[in-house]
Amino acid sequence: AAELEYESVLCVKPDVNVYRIPPRASNRGYRASDWKLDHPDWTGRLRVTSKGKTAYIKLEDKVSGKLFAQAPIDQYPGIAVETVTDSSRYFVIRIQDGTGRSAFIGIGFTDRGDAFDFNVSLQDHFKWVKQETEISKESQEADTRPKLDLGFKEGQTIKLNIGNMTSKKGGAAKPRVSGSGGLSLLPPPPGGKIAVPPIPPPSSTAIANHVTPPPVLKSSNTNNADILLDLDAPASESKAPASATTDLWGDFSTASSAVPNQAPQQSNWVQF
């Protein structure tokens, strides 16, 4: 796994000052004012890299890029990188060589923004390391838990009851009958014409009250086309002579008087 890890660059600052610092006098922390800030012991380039979960602070030459010193960091904040108590631009780091020897030196940035970027790059890296550690821990706990077997055992079957499905013989399944709480709807009747109620025949009273208009007098010089006008007259009646039709309204009064007086029909309404 270590061979598959690659080194990534987190931050690069072209100007950094290195100071040889006195040993810590008390537990109150380091003070940058105790250093010779105007006369740095070394000046070069700072590069912050990461390989796996470990971060590295590398001090390199500006021109050749040769490594001057490096400080491996396992956690931040920690003993490998500490801030001073009187400034935000200076830090104390613990450098190590390949033989296992270590020493504490001071570094400082001229620009306050470079110090801020250096601090944030370390914070982001170890925040990612913390998340990865939690995820791997949860996955290990999940592997140790007993797994639930939801597979079918040998010979085990299940039965599904699905309504309105065709039976094995090809016939349609019987429709489900609704319970007492539901409503069942009847299918619509087969298509057909709706019978129209017959019109009742006219009553005898309406026939009796009908008055036949008097026949229209025809002159003797009418041609054969006037015969069509006589179709409304009854076939059994003969034409009246010209002398008898002088009084046209006499027949109308006679016909109306010939209608017998009929008794009034009984009403279906009940009087209270």
pLDDT in tens, 107-137: 999 999 999 999 999 999 999 999 988 888 8
Q: Which tens digit of pLDDT belongs to each residue from 170-185? A: 555 555 555 555 555 6
Asked if residue 27 is part of any domain, the answer here is: yes
Asked if residue 215 is part of any domain, the answer here is: no
Classify residue 219 by burial, with Cβ atoms within 10 Å: 0-12, 13-18, 19+: exposed
Residue 212 confidence (pLDDT) above 70: no
Terminus-to-terminus CA distance in the chain, angstroms?
111
Asked if residue 262 is part of any domain, the answer here is: no
Residue 43 confidence (pLDDT) above 90: yes
| Structural domain count of the chain | 1
Asked if residue 225 is part of any domain, the answer here is: no
pLDDT score of 1: 46
Q: Which residue has the higher pLDDT, 56 or 193?
A: 56
Q: Sort strands 90-96 and 7-19 into parallel, antiparallel or unpaired.
A: unpaired
Residue 152 confidence (pLDDT) above 50: yes
pLDDT score of 194: 56
pLDDT score of 225: 47
Tokens of 77: 């904040």
Find all residues with CB under 8 Å of 62, minimum gap 6, and list them.
Answer: 14, 43, 44, 45
Asked if residue 251 is part of any domain, the answer here is: no
Number of H helices, E strands in the chain: 3, 7
Residue 201 confidence (pLDDT) above 70: no
Tokens of 250: 């006499």
Query: CATH no. for residue 89?
Result: 2.30.29.30
8 A C-beta contact, residue 54 and residue 37: no
Cα–Cα dist 49/58, whole Å: 8
pLDDT band at 242 (very low <50, low <70, confident <90, very high): very low
pLDDT score of 196: 57
Residue 240 confidence (pLDDT) above 70: no
pLDDT score of 133: 86
Q: What is the largest CA-CA distance in the chain?
A: 164
Tokens of 21: 């610092």
Count of C-beta atoms within a 10 Å radius of residue 104: 17
pLDDT band at 68 (very low <50, low <70, confident <90, very high): very high
Asked if residue 238 is part of any domain, the answer here is: no
Coil, helix or strand for 36?
coil
Cβ density class 6-41: b for 16+ within 10 Å, e for less: eeeebbebeebbbbebeeeeeeeebebeebeeeebe
Please state which of the ranges 28-42, 69-83, 183-197, 238-252 shows the lowest mean pLDDT: 238-252
Tokens of 38: 């105007």
pLDDT score of 158: 82
The answer to whether the bond into 77 is cis (omega within 30° of 0) is yes
Cα–Cα dist 38/205, whole Å: 138
Domain that holds residue 95: 9-132
Query: What residue type is 62 in one-letter code?
Result: K
pLDDT band at 186 (very low <50, low <70, confident <90, very high): low
> What is the percent of the chain where pLDDT is above 70?
57
Asked if residue 140 is part of any domain, the answer here is: no
pLDDT score of 15: 93
What mean pLDDT comes out for the span 230-248?
A: 48
Asked if residue 68 is part of any domain, the answer here is: yes
Q: Please provide the DSSP assignment of 142-181 as one string.
A: HHHSPPP--SPPTT-------SS---TTSPPPPPPPP-TT
Distance of CA 179 to the CA centre of its chain: 36
